[in-house]
Structure 1
Amino acid sequence: MKEKGVILFIAVFAIIASCKKDDSTNVEVIPPRPLAEVEAENDATIIEYLKTHYYNYEEFESPPADFDYKIVLDTITSLTDDKIPLIDQVSTMTIPVSSETFNLDEDVTVNHTLYYLAAREGIGESPTVGDSTFVAYEGQLLSGNIFDSNSTYTWQYLPFFLRGYAAGVSNFRVGGEIISNPDGTIEITGSGIGLMFIPSGLAYYNNPPLGSGIFNYDILVFQVNTGLFIEATDYDNDGIPSIMEDLNNNGNLSDDNTDASTELSSGFGFVPNHLDRDDDQDRILTRDEIVIDSEGNISFPDSDGDGIPDYLDADS
């Protein structure tokens, strides 16, 4: 009996091992979908949503005494077919997205449409995509499932956030005076309140955060309350506002890295210009290779006359 038991154990073990081996060799790796295909699908889905939904614009137009100034989305039905659909109220902006952004094998650039709505215009100016902004926000999927929110204002350096989110926030005006409440909370008078619909190519595409409730190619919807911003934010304190370090003017500060080849060979890792205090890696700080006058105006010397300013020219 004991010998038969051992033989049986070996047979079972062999079967299990065989199954594990088969499982490992049969794992199917699904490649990312083509960027243009996903963009077209996302855009059609957003448009259909905008045609069939509305928001509580009437409350924003004539706010009740206890109105919380929160955007509420709802479906247009036979009982609400007199409501103005979102498609007739949103604005759009076109943002080109390179397949390189998501390390796709294809080599294409596809225009993506960002849809946004200002439910309440702020009384201040609008930040740029390179500014630090004081924002309260809520993020959800088209299904209505909320994946992230912060009801209190928090500072956000926009280049650290999703490209579509940063672009959306830059379309809204901020508020004015800060008011401290007895309960310790604050309010900002005349803050901007907006809504944005972000296709996946301007969000996470096929690589959403684990456990976030966001899935591959999901469209994201953000409601934001824009309070304040730091004008001409200079995040790395090199004397040049971050937005001026978007050298290719595409609204994506993370793909501007003048000294990328030097950083690669030196093993320092890639640091885009808006985070780099020495943009050309010549061991002279950027701040020491520019000139800032008494009024804050910046000029960019080109000591060797080669058309490249010193702060971007390692051999100047």
Structure 2
Amino acid sequence: MRVNRIFLLFLLIGMVWSCKKDDDPGFETIPPRALDEVALENDASIKEFLATHFYNYEEFANPSADFDYKIKIDTIAGENANKTPLMQQVQSETVTVTNTDLGLESEQSVQHTYYYLIAREGEGERPTVADSTYIRYEGSLLNGTVFDGTADYSWQYLPFFLRGYSRGISQMKAGDNIVVNNDGTTRITNSGIGMVIMPSGLGYFNQIQGGISQYSPLIFKLDVGLMVPDTDYDNDGIPSILEDLNGDGNLNNDNTDREAEVKARTGLIPNHQDQDDDGDGTPTREEIIIDANGNITFPDTDGDGIPDYLDKDTK
């Protein structure tokens, strides 16, 4: 009997050891690269691309009757050696990106530069990063590989998309009218057409998405047809752009009742998607005042400097 017990003990130990070996993935997990290091590397690659490529600016300047108003990019070489490089035609803006924004553990805040081109100025209004837009786009890598795109316009609520993408769109103007053609189809007149070139910190960074490898700068060609001014996604009476409380252009990190949501394990809902921003049980719409002209007043009943709709101590 003792021998049997010893045998069973060794058998159990062997099984546990075997399971541990099987659980070993057999490879080393590589941590994400440093945000500042990647930002510098991406910016150098983008600048090189902008200095060595051009777009069909001459066609946009003198469009033929059948011109499709699509941006085409080519290398400055050979018969195109005298073309004006994109670097001389783009504009740029900087955005602060933190490791927290990208779901990374260490604390770091890095300035990222994105570049944008306006090939045709739209005749409509300019959307914000918080608006819904009716848009066509094509996404590609710096080497020209296309990874995504749409043939027709589709509605997009910009806070749900990449920061660099929404930032680029916010630099453009939409079209001004919908025209019904003789065959019953429709078209949008005077849409804004342009392009945004952005570092991976404003894109997918260390994530792998389809044909997009880690740390890849991205290009999006854009055709902005229409937009909804002062989009109020959650219909709480406050335009989404006003729910960007810290003013960083990223609406997804503004969540007044985050602590309570974490504690309750109900899922995190940022203010622009939350009809009760402070989680006090009173809908946001009932804690603000909207007059007949659409002007919004934010009462502060207890005078503590925090408006009622963000103050769980007032209802």
Same fold (TM over 0.5): yes
* Alpha-carbon distance in structure 1 between the residues aligned to 2:22 and 2:46: 42
Matched to 1:174, the amino acid is A
Alignment partners' CA distance in 2, 1:282 and 1:76? 60
2:172 maps to 172
Q: Equivalents in 1 of 2:149, 2:118: separation in Å?
A: 19
2:118 corresponding residue in structure 1 = 118
Aligned-partner residue type, residue 115 of structure 2: Y
2:218 aligned residue (217, 220, 236): 220
Give 1:61's aligned amino acid. A
* CA shift for structure 1 position 81: 1.9
- 1:25 and 1:301 map into 2 onto residues whose CA distance is 56
Q: What's the CA shift for 1:28?
A: 1.4
Once structures 1 and 2 are overlaid, which stretch shifts more, 259-268 or 57-66?
Answer: 259-268
Could you tell me which amino acid in structure 2 is paired with residue 159 of structure 1? Answer: P
Residue 267 (structure 1) shift = 1.8
Q: 1:185 to 1:151 in 2, by over 3 A?
A: farther
Q: State how far apart, in whole Å, the 1-side matches of 2:160 and 2:124 are.
A: 23
Q: 1:277 aligns with which of 265, 275, 290?
A: 275
Measure the CA separation in 2 of the matches of 1:207 and 1:263.
27
Contact 1:34–1:106 under 8 Å retained in 2: no
Residue 269 of structure 1: CA displacement? 1.1
Letter paired with 1:252: N
Q: Given residue 193 of structure 2, which amino acid in structure 1 is its aligned partner?
A: I
Structure 2 SS opposite 1:39: helix
Give the alignment's Cα RMSD to 1 decimal. Answer: 1.7
What is residue 87 of structure 2 aligned with on the other side?
87
| 1:6 aligned residue | none
Q: Which amino acid aligns with 1:240?
A: I
CA distance in 2, matches of 1:35, 1:152: 35
Cα offset for 1:78? 3.4
Question: Using the alignment, how far apart are the partners of 1:53 and 1:144 within structure 2?
Answer: 11
Contact 1:246–1:252 under 8 Å retained in 2: yes
Aligned match of 1:154 = 154
Cα distance change of structure 1 residues 117 and 266 upon mapping to structure 2, 3 Å threshold: same
Amino acid across the alignment from 1:48: E
Tell me the distance in 1 between the aligned counterparts of 2:77 and 2:38. Answer: 29
1:106 offset after TM fit, Å? 2.3
The match for 1:298 among 296, 299, 310 is 296
Q: Following the alignment from structure 2 to structure 1, what is the Cα–Cα distance between the partners of residues 207 and 63?
A: 40
Number of residue-to-residue matches in the alignment: 297
Cα contact 1:132–1:233 (8 A) shared by 2:
yes
Distance in 2 (alpha carbons) for counterparts of 1:79 and 1:23: 59
Identity between Structure 1 and Structure 2 (%): 56
* Range with greater deviation from structure 2 (32-41 or 176-185): 176-185
CA offset at residue 23 of structure 1?
9.9
> C-alpha offsets along residues 119-165 of structure 1, whole Å, 9 cap, x if unaligned?
00001121000000010111111111111111211000000000110
SS at match of 2:100: helix
> Residue 106 in 1 paired to residue 97 in 2?
no
- Report what 1:308 is aligned to: 306
Pairwise CA distance, 1:22: 8.5
Aligned residue type for 1:79: E
What SS does structure 1 have at the residue aligned with 2:152?
strand
TM-score normalized by structure 2? 0.91
Quote the offset at 1:297 in angstroms: 0.3
Contact 1:179 1:188 in 2 (8 A): yes
Q: Evaluate the alpha carbon distance shift between residue 114 and residue 62 of structure 1 in structure 2; reply closer, same or farther with a 3 A threshold.
A: same
1:8-23 matched pairs, under 5 angstroms: 21=21
Task: Answer whether contact 1:147 1:213 (CA < 8 A) is retained.
Answer: yes
In the alignment, the residues of structure 1 paired with residue 223 and residue 121 of structure 2 have an alpha-carbon distance, to the nearest angstrom, of 10
Q: Does 1:286 align with 2:284?
A: yes
Report the TM-score, using the length of structure 1 for normalisation. 0.91
Query: 1:312–1:58: structure 2 CA closer, same or farther, 3 Å change rule?
Result: same
Distance 1:151 1:82 in 2: 32
Match of 2:168, SS? helix
Secondary structure in 1 aligned to 2:150?
Answer: strand
Correspondence 1:17-166 to 2 at 5 A: 21=21, 24=24, 26-166=26-166
